[in-house]
Chains A and B, each alone.
Chain A
């Protein structure tokens, strides 16, 4: 899934993420820096040993939101290319669940954009993880995406 304007990659995958391929994709001669974020499955959560995680998504909306994040990065930062890939399904300890790569002529923009991308993804992209433990499973505590409080027509006239 490539956004036509910038040759970005935004994908949801059910198989392992190919980190090296994504780094190669964003790397170009006019760049001087790539910053990546590799989010992977930790072996514990709130001091309980995690067995594995299971991710699900509202796939069509999640892809739309990931593409919006990529577009925002181009608006806000002097960057070149973006790759944002999230994996779904069952993931074992140590496996990458989300990978973001941002290339730019200079490092500051790449760092800032990568940080903005993962923070925004975690707040706004409809993906959920269930954590499996020896003695049960729980849906991970998440963040409530910012949503409109009321439609404009319903606001009292001022």
Chain B
């Protein structure tokens, strides 16, 4: 199955300790290497290796719904990486 890597534009949000590692809460990116949420996260661990250790304790969301890591991304999507929640 030959797939052409598509360049997509995403809004990416980080919260809690992830935000502190990144240094900011959100960014807009354009990439041809972020077909899934997992691949998107890999782009960030390449830039910030210390993010990798948080991967098992994160959930992701796409357009404000919890989403599996293999979720396919589309241009215009808003993706967030969420540490364990601690409201209340």
Provide the residues of chain A in CB contact with B16, threshold 8 Å: 56, 128, 130, 139
Does B43 lie at the interface of the complex (its beta carbon under 8 Å from any beta carbon of A)? no
When chains A and B are docked, how far (Å) is the Cα of A121 from the Cα of B80?
Answer: 18
Does B10 lie at the interface of the complex (its beta carbon under 8 Å from any beta carbon of A)? no
When chains A and B are docked, how far (Å) is the Cα of A129 from the Cα of B88?
Answer: 9
Chain A stretch 9-62: residues in CB contact (< 8 A) with chain B: 39, 55-58, 60-62
| Minimum CB distance partner of A125 in chain B | B87
When chains A and B are docked, how far (Å) is the Cα of A153 from the Cα of B64?
Answer: 20
Instruction: Tell me whether A125 and B68 are in contact (CB under 8 A).
Output: no
| Chain A: minimal CB distance from B70 (Å) | 5
When chains A and B are docked, how far (Å) is the Cα of A59 from the Cα of B63?
Answer: 13
Choose among A124, A146, A147 the residue with the greatest number of B CB atoms under 10 Å from its CB: A147
Does A143 lie at the interface of the complex (its beta carbon under 8 Å from any beta carbon of B)? yes
Contact flags (1/0) for A114-158 with B, using CB distance below 8 Å?
A: 000010011111111110000000011111111111110110000
Provide the residues of chain B in CB contact with A130, threshold 8 Å: 16
| Chain A: minimal CB distance from B64 (Å) | 4
| Chain A: minimal CB distance from B55 (Å) | 12
| Chain B: minimal CB distance from A61 (Å) | 4
| Minimum CB distance partner of B17 in chain A | A139
Provide the residues of chain B in CB contact with A141, threshold 8 Å: 84, 86
Q: Which of A97, A126, A145 contacts B88 (CB 8 A)?
A: A97
Chain B stretch 28-56: residues in CB contact (< 8 A) with chain A: none
With A58-B80, A151-B71, A154-B70 in contact, is A125–B85 under 8 Å at CB? yes
Provide the residues of chain B in CB contact with A144, threshold 8 Å: 57-59, 84-85
Instruction: Tell me whether B15 and A142 are in contact (CB under 8 A).
Output: no
| Minimum CB distance partner of A128 in chain B | B16
| Minimum CB distance partner of A144 in chain B | B84
With A56-B15, A126-B15, A128-B16 in contact, is A143–B67 under 8 Å at CB? no
List, sorted by A's number, 11 A–B pairs whose CB atoms are closer than 8 Å: A62-B87, A118-B88, A122-B87, A126-B82, A126-B85, A127-B86, A128-B16, A139-B17, A144-B85, A147-B59, A151-B70
If A64-B64, A143-B85 are given as contacts, then 12 extra A-B residue pairs at C-beta distance below 8 Å, sorted by A number, are: A39-B88, A56-B15, A118-B88, A122-B85, A123-B85, A127-B87, A128-B83, A140-B86, A145-B85, A147-B59, A148-B68, A151-B67
